[in-house]
Structure 1
Amino acid sequence: MIIFDGLYSFISVILSMLSLYINNYMAKRDFEKFPFGKHILEPIVISIKSLIIAIMCLYSLVGAVKSIISGGNNLEFGLAIIYSIVSVIGCGAISLYMKVKSKALSSELIKAEFTQWFMDTALSTAVLVGFIIGIAISNTKLNFLNPYIDPFMTVAASLLCIRIPIKIFIESFKEVICVKANDEINDDIYVLVKEIEEEYKFEDSITRVSKVGRELRIEIDFVYNKDSKLKTLDQMDNVREEINDAIKHIDYKKWLNVSFTGNKKWAI
C-alpha cells in the first residue's frame, strides 16, 4: 500500500510538472503557428494524465489480488505510520492549493490537478487508517488478519481511485474529438438561435457548439431566402452583436462564428 501511495504521489508530481509546463505554454501567444489557439492541448493532457493513473491503479489492483492469493504480507507499523502522517499533510496542503488556484484561474487543467491530489490525500488517509486498525488488532485474536490488511487496502484504494480517472478521461476525450457541449449550454444557445431565426424569418439555422478546454467553440449558420428580413452587411453584424451579448453569461472563452447563406449546402 505504501508503494502504491508513494508511486501515485510520484506520478502526480511528474504529471503536475507537465501540467505547469503546458499551462505556461498555452499562455504564450503564437497566432502564426496556432491560428485556432492552443486550447485543444488542455483536454489532451488531461486525457493522458487520467489514462496513466487508471493504468497504475489497475496494475496495483492486480498485484494486490496476487498478494492476497499468496497469503498476504507482514507489516512493520512504525515507519509506516510516520510516512502516512507526512503524506496526508503534504498531499492535503497541495490539494488545498490546487483548489484555490482552480477557482481563481477557471482552468480545467488545474481542476484536474486538484482532483488528482484530492484522490492522493484520500488515499494517504486510507493508508493511515488501515495501519491504525492493524496496530489495534495486532495483540488480539484478530491478529491473523494483519498480513491481509495491506493488500486488501490496496484493492479497496485501487477500485475507488480507478473510477475517477476513467470518468475524467472519457470527458476529456470527448473534448478532443469535439463532441457537443453539455445540454445546458447547448440548449441555451439553440433556443437563442431559433428566436433569431423566427425574428428575421430565416428559412433555417444550423447550430454547432463544442467545449474544448476552457474555450467554447460556436458556429451558427443562418439560411435565408427572399422572405428574410436581413439584407445588408450592417444587419448581419447586428445579429452577430446580438448573439455575442446574449451569451456573455456563459463563463468560457468563446470562438464565435456566425455565417449567412442562401444555400443550405454551405451550412451542413
Structure 2
Amino acid sequence: MSNRVEQAMLKQSTALMFAVAIAAIITGFFSGSQSILFDGFFSLVATFIKVLMLITAKLIAKESNQRFQFGFWHLEPMVLLIEGSFLLLIAIYAFLSGMFGIINGGREVELSIVIPFAALLSIVCLGYFFYVRYRNRTLKSSLIQFDNISWLVDAMLSIGLLVSFLTALVLKSQGYGAWAAYVDPSILILLGLSMLAPAHKILRPALRDVLGIVPDQLDEKVRRVMDEVKANQGFSEYVSYVQKHGRARFIEIHVVLPMDYQLQDVGKLDVLREQISAKLGKPDATRWLTICFTGDRKWIA
C-alpha cells in the first residue's frame, strides 16, 4: 500500500514539475530573463530525475529475482547521486552565467511579465513542498523526502526571483534603470550559491551508500546489542558487518559459541536469533538480517 502511494505521489510530482518547467522556459524566453530560463531548465532536469525515481520505486516494489537476488535497493542511492550531481552542475552553471552577465554589462528584463510569474511560481512550489512534507510524515519514504528537496530549491529560486525583480522595479521607478540591468545576473549568482547546500545534502548520503561506507549509527547499534547479548549468553566472541543501500539495511552477525556451551537442540539457536532480532528493532521488508553460530573461530576470521 505504502509503495503505491509513493509511486502515485512521484507521478503527481513529476507531472507538476514538468508543467512548471515548460511555463518557466516560455516565460523566460519571452521576457528575456536568463534567471527565469535557468529556473525552467532546472525544473526540466528535476522532471527527468523524478522519472528515474518513479522507475526506481516501481523496481523496489518488485521481488528479488535470480539476477538481483537482494532486490533493487541499490538503485535508490544511484538515482539520488545523479540528482545531487545535476544540482551541483546547475549551481556551477548559474554562478558562471551570472558572472559573465555582470561582466557584459547586465541584462534588461520585461518586469511586467516576470513579476506575476515569479509570484505565482513561489506560491505553487512552496505550497506543494509543505503538502508533500506533510504527506511523507506517515509514508516515511526517503525517495519522497529527497524528491521534495527539488521543490524546496524551486521555491527558493522563485522567491529569490520575485524579491529581486521587485527590487529592479523599485530601482527603475527611482531613476536607477542602469543598475536594474544587473539584477537578473546577480540573481543567478545568488541562486547558484544557494543551491550548493541542497546538492551537498543529497550527494553526501548517496555517495556513502554507493561507495559502501559503513553507516556509523547502524554499526554502533549492532555492536551495542551484541555486546550485551554476548555478556548475558556467555558467547566467546562475534563479528558483525553492516551495509546500507537506500532504505535497505543489511546486517550480518557471526557468533562463536564456547565448546562447552549448553545446547540441547537447534531450536535454542532460533530463540537466540529472535532475541537478537528484537533488540535490533522491529523487522520489516527493508532489513536483511543474517545470524550464524559456530564453535570454530576459523569461520569468522
TM-score (norm 2): 0.81
Q: 2:52 maps to what in 1?
A: 18
Residue pairs, 1:46-61, within 5 angstroms: 46-61=80-95
Deviation of 1:47 (Å): 0.8
Q: Report whether the alignment pairs 1:196 with 2:229.
A: yes
User: Residues of 2 paired with 1:37 and 1:229: CA distance?
Assistant: 38
Report the CA distance shift for 1:2/1:245 in structure 2 as closer, same or farther (over 3 A). Answer: same
- In 2, are the aligned partners of 1:209 and 1:219 still within 8 Å (CA)? yes
Please, which runs of 5 or more residues in structure 1 have no aligned partner? none
Alignment of 1:59-74 (within 5 A): 59-74=93-108
Q: Does 1:170 align with 2:204?
A: yes
- State the match for 1:85 in structure 2: 119
Count of matched residue pairs: 267
> How far apart are 1:121 and its partner, in Å?
0.8
- Equivalent position amino acid for 1:197 in 2: K
What's the counterpart of residue 295 of structure 2? Answer: 262
Q: Is residue 247 of structure 2 the alignment partner of residue 214 of structure 1? A: yes
Q: For the residues of structure 2 that align with 1:59 and 1:68, how far apart are their CA atoms?
A: 14
* Distance 1:257-1:43 versus aligned 2 partners, 3 A rule: same
Structure 1 residue 249 displacement after superposition: 4.9
The alignment yields a C-alpha RMSD, in angstroms, of 2.1
Structure 2: how far apart are the matches of 1:11 and 1:104?
Answer: 28
Q: Is the 8 A contact 1:189 1:247 kept in 2?
A: yes
Q: Percent same amino acid at aligned positions?
A: 26
Q: Aligned pair in 2 of structure 1 residues 251, 36: CA closer, same or farther (>3 Å)?
A: closer
CA positional deviation for 1:18: 2.0
The answer as to 2:266 corresponding to 1:233 is: yes
Q: Which residue of 1 aligns with 2:219?
A: 186
- The TM-score, its normalising length taken from structure 1, stands at 0.91
Task: Give the partner amino acid of 1:3.
Answer: L
Check whether the contact 2:248–2:286 (CA below 8 A) recurs between aligned residues.
yes
Unaligned runs of 5+ in 2: 1-34
- 1:113 aligned onto 2:147: yes
SS at match of 1:38: coil
Counterpart CA distance in 2 for 1:145 and 1:108 is 44
Partner secondary structure for residue 138 of structure 1: helix
Give 1:128's aligned amino acid: L
- Bigger shift: 154-163 or 102-111? 102-111
Specify the code of the residue in structure 1 equivalent to 2:151. W
User: After alignment, is 228-237 or 240-249 more displaced?
Assistant: 228-237
CA distance in 2, matches of 1:238, 1:186: 23
- Letter matched to residue 83 of structure 1: F
Pair 1:161–1:50, CA change in 2 (3 A)? same
Shift of 1:199: 1.9
- Tell me, what secondary structure is at the counterpart of 1:209? strand
Contact between 2:109 and 2:184, CA under 8 Å: does it hold in 1?
yes
Q: CA separation in 2, counterparts of 1:146 and 1:34?
A: 57
Output the CA distance in 1 between the equivalents of 2:172 and 2:98: 21
Q: Which residue of 2 aligns with 1:246?
A: 279
